[in-house]
Structure formats: C-alpha cells, structure tokens
Amino acid sequence: MAKALYTAQAHVTGGRIAGHGRTSDGVLEVDLRLPKEMGGQGGGTNPEELFAVGYAACFEGALGTVARRNKQEAGDVAIDSKVSLITTEERGFTIAVELDVSLPSIEDPAEAVELVRAAHKVCPYSNATRGNIDVALSANGQPVE
C-alpha cells in the first residue's frame, strides 16, 4: 500500500437517526439526525449532506491541481453538489451524485468541460466511487460526458 499523505479520524455513535460525530482533532463536531424528508425530526446533519460537502470540496481541490498542471487559472470556482440516497432492487441503498461546477474565469465552454473532466480523473472522491455510483458532472451549465 502506498504511503498515506494524511489520515482523517472520526468517532461516531448513534448512527443517522440520533447520532453524534466528532473528528479526532475536535474541529468538526455534528449531531446526526434523520432528515424530515425521510420521516425524521431533522435538526442535525446526515451522511448524504456530509458526503455532498466533502465531495464538492475535494473536487474543487482537484480542479485547482489540474489547472496548475496545465498552467491555467481556474479562478473563483463554485460547486453545487447533490447527493441522493437511492434504494436498490436488492433492498439495499446506494447514492448518486451531481456536481454542477461554475468556472467564471473560463469563458470557453469546451475548456471548462475539459478541466472538469480532467479533475474527475484526479479527485480522490471520484476515484473512490468510479464504477460504483452514478456521478453527473456539468461545467458552466454544459454536461460533462
């Protein structure tokens, strides 16, 4: 196994219904609650929200890496992410992701699409989920195939 650059650690009790999570450094501490849309009381976050924030943040970092490698300026990137919890035919669950990437400093639609496509190859979240879940990407409103 390759050498780890960084390892995050967290401790969770109680799960998604009435749980609590905390990172080992104490910087992130959250109450976990079932969302109202799923019949819960809300009032906390849930794994899908945490995944949506984590994936978007990671993807933004990948965009910056790819832009630097290509001597491009990604500028002020914004990413709107959606993570959907989906039931499977086997009575299990999976997720699907949508990342809508806004690159205001890149006017050429093809260039924006190519940058997002390249970031998708570099992003650790993309690499971890590739072939396991549906991930839909767009760059400045254009779908990335």
List the chain domain ranges.
1-45, 47-144
β-pairing, 29-33 with 78-87? unpaired
Residue 45 CA neighbour count, 13 Å, CB half: 15
| CATH number corresponding to 1-45 | 2.20.25.10
CA distance 137 to 117: 8
| CATH architecture assigned to 47-144 | 2-Layer Sandwich (3.30)
Indicate if the pLDDT at residue 74 is higher than 90.
Answer: no
Indicate if the pLDDT at residue 122 is higher than 90.
Answer: yes
At 57 the pLDDT is: 98
- 8-12, 14-18, 25-29, 59-63: lowest mean pLDDT where? 14-18
CA distance 19 to 46: 9
pTM to 2 decimal places: 0.94
